[in-house]
């Protein structure tokens, strides 16, 4: 496996279309690294630059400690699985998967063995003798994956490789891919716009927006300590309140004044507090606690492991989760006291 470093990488296609706006990052050898962000944020451009298919306007790309910025694609020890899986329609599934090995000069017996093993792994064994045009989009995507994996490159670049699969198979392959990456010790650079997928698969995640890295950290840190409002929203957090300073130890928000968490001295107007739904105390548990508010229940949903309550506090919609053990259940239109412990309030930097 190889490490990858990008320093000051910039790419624009025109004066308006700036795809990457100064990207610095280091991907460790053998790491499952994910680029996560909305459509158009620059994920594919970054992969194409790693593969050597696009040249940056500025900056340096190194793979395995070697500056490859000017090295053509076929001289990099990198394989790519693209969103549009370019398979050979006239070849069988088996020959498609084995194509890269044949190019490397691997002999027939060894090729057959490795292709069959990979097909087993990626659940394609029954299809090996079929032709590409006889297969579904999801099957084609898995063949493209198998074709790249079987070559065991130092670095594998994967551009939304599971996006054409239905939920069940997608979940299975998320686990399988992670397993195969660990087993072969390859460096994976995986692209997705799906925050759940990024969280279950990755060692580390770089969240991208507008061609800039917003945060680079472990899945847990990105989810639990989002670096700014964009990351917080993109990771699916909804209970975000913009703050206004009101003296040293109080913040004002749209639901009323809040007592600060201990680390909030640095907060300024326009920053936000994030209230995790599971930290909101409801009903009797809220009485006598700090940051107590009166909420109206709008809707409630049974979610199996917990109940979800959509609440209205002043003009603000909040979501709270509560386990049903020993809890009184609340119904629509109930007035319910809620409280949020100051230590459970997360502080998040504003976007500007
Ligand atoms: P993502 O993969 O995250 O959806 P892309 O890297 O494909 O994003 O695109 C990033 C930005 O660069 C977008 O604004 C896109 O329109 C622009 N872009 C990408 N490729 C080209 C190109 N070949 N010509 C012009 N603009 C491009
Ligand atoms: Mg893309």
The burial of 267, by beta-carbon neighbours within 10 Å (0-12 exposed, 13-18 middle, 19 or more buried), is given as: buried
**CATH code assigned to 240-348:** 2.40.50.140
Query: Residue 211's CB: how many other CB atoms inside 10 A?
Result: 23
Q: Is the CB of 36 under 6 A from ligand 1?
A: no
Nearest CA to ligand 1 atom 12: 19
SS3 state of residue 121: helix
The alpha helices in the chain, defined as continuous H runs, are 43-51, 93-103, 108-121, 137-149, 167-184, 195-201, 219-224, 229-234
Distance CA 8, CA 121 (A): 39
Tell me the β-bridge partners of 250.
259
With b for 16 or more beta-carbon neighbours within 10 A and e for fewer, the 219-252 pattern comes to: beebbebbbbbbbbbbbebebbbbbeeeeeeebb
CB distance 66 to 72 below 8 Å: no
Q: Is the CB of 157 under 6 A from ligand 1?
A: no
Distance CA 293, CA 287 (A): 10
Distance CA 138, CA 247 (A): 57
Q: Is the CB of 45 under 6 A from ligand 1?
A: yes
* Proximal ligand: closest to the CA of 41: 1
Distance CA 8, CA 267 (A): 29
Whole-prediction pTM value?
Answer: 0.90
> What is the sign, positive or negative, of the torsion defined by CA atoms of 142, 147, 148, 149?
positive
Closest CA to 274 of 302, 243, 301: 243
> What is the sign, positive or negative, of the torsion defined by CA atoms of 175, 221, 31, 163?
positive
Pick the CATH number of 4-226 from 3.40.50.300, 3.40.50.2300, 3.40.50.150, 3.30.70.2740: 3.40.50.300
Nearest CA to ligand 1 atom 25: 13
- Of 9, 14, 17, the one to substitute when testing ligand 1's pocket (max ligand atoms within 8 A of C-beta) is 17
Tokens for 252? 């004002």
Atom of ligand 1 nearest to the CA of 35: 3
Q: Is the CB of 47 under 6 A from ligand 1?
A: no
The torsion angle over the Cα atoms of residues 217, 219, 221 and 227, rounded to 10 degrees, is: 60
What are the extents of the domains in the chain?
4-226, 240-348
CB distance 239 to 338 below 8 Å: no
Residue with tokens 């600060």: 260
Atom of ligand 1 nearest to the CA of 11: 12
Q: Is the CB of 42 under 6 A from ligand 1?
A: yes
Nearest CA to ligand 1 atom 15: 40
Nearest CA to ligand 1 atom 26: 13
Tokens for 173? 């392959």
Q: Is the CB of 44 under 6 A from ligand 1?
A: yes
Residuewise pLDDT in 10s, the chain (352 residues): 899 999 999 999 998 889 999 999 999 999 999 999 999 999 999 999 999 999 999 999 999 999 999 999 989 989 998 877 778 988 999 999 999 999 999 999 999 999 999 998 888 899 999 999 888 888 888 899 999 999 989 999 999 999 888 888 889 889 889 988 998 899 999 999 999 999 999 999 999 999 999 999 999 999 999 999 999 999 999 999 999 988 776 789 999 998 877 777 788 889 999 999 999 999 988 888 899 999 999 999 988 888 999 999 999 999 999 886 656 688 999 999 999 999 999 989 997 5
Q: Is the CB of 17 under 6 A from ligand 1?
A: yes
Q: What spacing in Å lies between the alpha carbon of 124 and ligand 2's midpoint?
A: 26
- Of 10, 19, 234, the one to substitute when testing ligand 1's pocket (max ligand atoms within 8 A of C-beta) is 19
């Amino acid at each position: 496996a190889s490490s990858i470093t990008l320093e000051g990488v910039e790419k624009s296609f025109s004066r308006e279309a700036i795809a990457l706006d100064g990207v610095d990052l280091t991907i460790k050898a053998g790491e499952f690294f994910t680029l996560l962000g909305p459509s158009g944020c620059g994920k594919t451009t970054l992969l194409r630059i790693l593969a050597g298919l696009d040249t940056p306007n500025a900056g340096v790309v190194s793979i395995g400690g070697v500056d490859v910025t000017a090295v053509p694609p076929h001289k990099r020890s990198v394989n790519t699985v693209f969103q549009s899986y370019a398979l050979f329609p006239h070849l069988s599934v088996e020959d498609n998967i084995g194509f890269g090995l044949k190019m490397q000069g691997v002999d027939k017996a060894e090729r057959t063995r490795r292709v069959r093993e990979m097909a087993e792994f990626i659940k394609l064994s029954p299809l090996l003798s079929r032709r590409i045009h006889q297969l579904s989009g999801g099957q084609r995507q898995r063949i493209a994956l198998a074709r790249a994996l079987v070559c065991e490159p130092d670095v594998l670049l994967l551009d939304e490789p599971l996006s054409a699969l239905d939920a069940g198979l997608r979940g299975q392959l998320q686990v399988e891919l992670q397993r195969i990456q660990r087993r072969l010790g390859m460096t994976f650079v995986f692209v997705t716009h799906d925050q759940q997928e990024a969280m279950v698969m990755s060692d580390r995640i770089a969240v991208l927006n507008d061609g800039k890295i917003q945060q680079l950290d472990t899945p847990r840190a990105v989810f639990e300590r989002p670096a700014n409002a964009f990351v917080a929203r993109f990771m699916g957090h909804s209970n975000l309140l913009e703050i206004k300073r009101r003296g040293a130890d109080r913040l004002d928000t749209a639901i009323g004044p809040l007592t600060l968490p201990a680390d909030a001295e640095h907060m300024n107007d326009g920053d936000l507090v994030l209230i995790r739904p599971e930290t909101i105390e409801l009903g009797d548990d809220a009485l006598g606690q700090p940051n107590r508010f009166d909420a109206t229940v709008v809707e409630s949903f049974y979610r199996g492991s917990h109940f979800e309550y959509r609440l209205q506090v002043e003009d603000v919609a909040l979501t709270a989760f509560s386990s049903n053990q020993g809890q009184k259940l609340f119904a629509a239109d109930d007035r319910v006291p809620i409280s949020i412990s100051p230590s459970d309030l997360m502080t998040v930097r504003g976007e500007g």
